[in-house]
Structure 1
Amino acid sequence: MNCLVCERALQDRNRPYHPHCAQVLFGSSFVPAIGFAYADIPTEAQKLIGKMSISGVQPKLSVVVNKDEKRFSVVPTGGTHILKPTPEAFPFLSENENLCMNLSREMGIETPPHGLVKMADDRLAYVIRRFDRDTVGNKIPVEDFAQLLGKTDKYDGSVEQIGKFLKRHSCVPFIDTQKLFVRILFFFLMGNGDAHLKNFAFVWRPAGYRLADGYDIVSSRLAFAKESDEMAITVGGRKNRLVKKDFEDLAKYLEIADRQRDRFFEMARALGANMGAYVRNSFLPQKQRDELMAIFQERFARLF
């Protein structure tokens, strides 16, 4: 049995989480219960009508850990976490997202604390701590790149446009452009073709504005087999048939030194060497594990 957060083996099989993983995700020594099932989501969502601004096709609920009752409570404001049950149309999307978020960390991509939780009907849902709230619940200034670039269509943009903005406005542009490059490289390998402009954000930090941590990272090609494009926004003017030279050109545009670029490629190679083990440890069923490996191996072969 593996931990519902990090997906590594548990020593105590009577507990679904490593104590450290639970503490980081929930901020408590106990695991909050979820007192409703997937079928109850429409009722729970009614509590939030007109109160939330989180977009997307997946059901999303703003929740907070109720320490008195030791459970998650749905709240219209002041939520510390986002609960994302798997939609009926896309089975195992929660398991998909947790794996991809864990794999992104293996590539050095920073992510908020996240994991899987069991609902009242024993279905797994994905939960993530909000990165736009501080430790006492105050809102942190965040804008996504559709807003920053003045785009009404979140798919109408390019990685280069994000990079240009970061070079001009990030307080550490040389770091954030590298983070952007690694993220795009990882998204390509994982088949994340739905990383649109709203999936990149600019967040206020004490030293100034920075590229926000990674979020909403999934293998959309695994979830949506008929997905038409490999990338949601263009790389070098294209969304499809990307090869290694496209990433070399992107690194050059982002002013990343060749030696640093090659280090990122080596990180991708290392991920490839261990990918099978990571996927086997995940909570995806075998069929989806096999499909994800096929997606990754086809993309990996184009680069290496």
Structure 2
Amino acid sequence: MAHVLKVSTQVGSVGELGFESQQDIYSFTYDETWQARDVAFPLSPHIPLSGERPKLGTVHRFLANLLPEGRALEVASMMYQMSKDNTFGLVHMLGKEPVGALSFTATAEAAAPGEDGAEFAEPEYTAAEEQDAPPVRRVVPNEELSERIRRRDEIPFPVWDRQLRLSVAGFQDKLQVLVEGESISLVDGGPISSTHILKPESLNPASAFMVANEHYCMTLAASIGLPTAAVRIRRIPEAILLIERFDREVELDPADGVTALRVRRTHVIDGCQALDLPVNLKYERNFGNARAVRDIREGASFEKLFALGPHFENPAHARQVMLRWALFQLFIGNSDAHGKNLSFHVRPAGLSPAPFYDLVSVNVYGDVVEQDMALAYGDAFRLEEVNAFELACFAQHTGTPRPLLARELTRMAQAITRVARDLAQSEVYVEEERDLVERIHDFVMIQVGKLLQLAPEAPRIDRSLL
């Protein structure tokens, strides 16, 4: 049985997603009107706007990377009574507002009444009608949000009003919300989309105070000039982290400067989509770090990410941003910086790195969490293994001049030294949060000292040894 979903943006139709369920074959066809537009962009570099047929499995991999992982995927599977492997069905149910500009919807024409797939049918609206539809805000009072955070073991956090609200990839509990001043709302698309990602504290005691952790690391990155999504902590009274979305452009009402009149969605893809990798290859060691398999490195890697050069809008600028992203993880000890933790804006002229997100100090929690890094620097998968030789290997594998690597490490270390202490003493952190942030600061400063020593040594490594 063949099934079809319409793929569109807020300005019009992009094409049709096809799925043959018996043979598990996916296809995508661009609308000719979309291909002719000056503002047209491809879904990804591997689903070209020219209409050239992508490689087998590419469309499926692109879609699967849009879906949540872990518990959220389990919830979606149970709620909609479909297999976690039913990518097409899950994309239909969760695809109205995924990350990026695209929406995936079915129309009454997609299946005749009584046929398989007819349950997917929903009214068809033109882009103009969708944009002119009155926005619907479902305001979430602090008291309700607080209760839902405390009851996450009983009621899955993504489920609100008997509807699964999550369309964001990843493992952590999170929610797409519209933030207008102090008001937090749930919205259903049209002219008004979500503007922020809301994250409550982790339920895992081994990674306590993750809100303060991420806030400090993100603020530190922004303070040294790295392109970083804006974050803030709000207490309801539980601490929540609000992350401003970089795939949304908000038009505010000039009358109050707070109310959103429209929220334009822009297209972004993550590193796995950019590399045409399935989600299970987001870690470089795709089979883990056990002795028998730790030398198998088929997943995302710095070398593969930097090899995206031909697809970049501005290759020199993109490489510089990606280099700083890679090096900053060493300073904060983010061992979980994997292939889906770097994203790219998709524009007609090519890819451009998006602001940084999910910057956390994982290593500060010690051996109760995984210390091996998601992506290797040379052959080093642990912070203590990173030395001048491995940094030189990293530079060679990514095509980075070693003097540039040394300059960037030194510049970043000096910038961190100037701001890290004041940020750690910010009044935004309270009680045990402050203790954790102090530990992160101390950890970062140890890394600063180590990397300042290694920086001038990396360019001196004999090239013949690499």
TM range (shorter): 0.7 to 0.9
Gap change, CA 1:292 and 1:230, over 3 Å in 2:
farther
Shift of residue 72, structure 1, vs aligned partner: 0.7
Corresponding residue pairs, total: 268
Q: Evaluate the alpha carbon distance shift between residue 255 and residue 138 of structure 1 in structure 2; reply closer, same or farther with a 3 A threshold.
A: same
**Is 1:246–2:390 an aligned residue pair?**
yes
Counterparts of 1:229 and 1:161, CA distance in 2 = 22
| Counterpart pick for 2:273 among 140, 147, 152 | 147
Q: Deviation of residue 59 (structure 1)?
A: 1.6
State the alpha-carbon separation in 2 of the partners of residues 276 and 206 from structure 1: 42
TM-score scaled by structure 2?
0.52
In the TM superposition, what is the alpha-carbon distance from 1:75 to its structure 2 partner? 3.0
Aligned counterparts, 1:286-297, within 5 A: 286-297=434-445
Which residue of structure 2 lines up, in the alignment, with residue 181 of structure 1? 323
Change (3 A) 1:302 1:244: farther
Gaps of 5+ in 1: 1-31
Q: SS at 2:221's partner residue?
A: helix
1:228 partnered with 2:228:
no
8 Å contact from structure 2 (residues 202, 208) kept in 1 = yes
Amino acid at match of 1:65: V
Q: Percent identity?
A: 24
- The letter for the 1-side match of 2:429 is F
Q: Secondary structure at the match of 2:265?
A: coil
Q: Shift of the alpha carbon at 1:277?
A: 2.9
Judging changes above 3 Å, is the alpha-carbon distance between structure 1 residues 290 and 117 closer, same or farther for their aligned structure 2 residues? closer
SS at match of 1:270: helix
Partner residue in 1 for 2:173:
59
User: In the aligned structure 1, how far is the partner of 2:346 from the partner of 2:391?
Assistant: 28
Q: Which residue of 1 aligns with 2:429?
A: 283
RMSD (CA atoms): 2.7
Q: Is the 8 A contact 1:47 1:76 kept in 2?
A: no
Query: In the TM superposition, what are the counterparts of 1:45-194 in structure 2 within 5 Å?
Result: 45-47=158-160, 49-66=163-180, 71-77=183-189, 78-89=193-204, 90-119=207-236, 122-135=237-250, 136-149=262-275, 150-153=277-280, 154-155=282-283, 156-165=299-308, 167-194=309-336
Bigger relative contact order (CA 8 A; separation at least 6): 1
Quote the offset at 1:35 in angstroms. 4.4
Looking at structure 2, the residues matched to 130 and 225 of structure 1 have their Cα atoms a distance apart, in angstroms, of 32
User: What's the secondary structure of 2:185's corresponding residue?
Assistant: strand
* Higher strand fraction (1 or 2): 2
Residues 188-240 of structure 1: CA distance to partner in whole angstroms, max 9, x if unpaired? 11011111111011212575420111011111223565233342112223312
Counterpart in the other structure of 1:29: none
Asked whether the equivalents of residues 158 and 165 of structure 2 are also in contact (C-alpha less than 8 Å), the reply is: no
Q: Secondary structure at the match of 2:243?
A: strand
Matched AA of 2:213 = N
Structure 1 residue aligned with 2:110: none
Q: In the aligned structure 1, how far is the partner of 2:265 from the partner of 2:330?
A: 32
Conservation of the 8 A alpha-carbon contact between 1:47 and 1:75 = no
Structure 2 CA distance for aligned equivalents of residues 206 and 225 of structure 1: 45
Which blocks of at least 5 consecutive residues in structure 2 are unaligned?
1-139, 251-261, 284-298, 454-466
Paired with 1:38 and 1:223, the residues of 2 have a C-alpha distance of 26
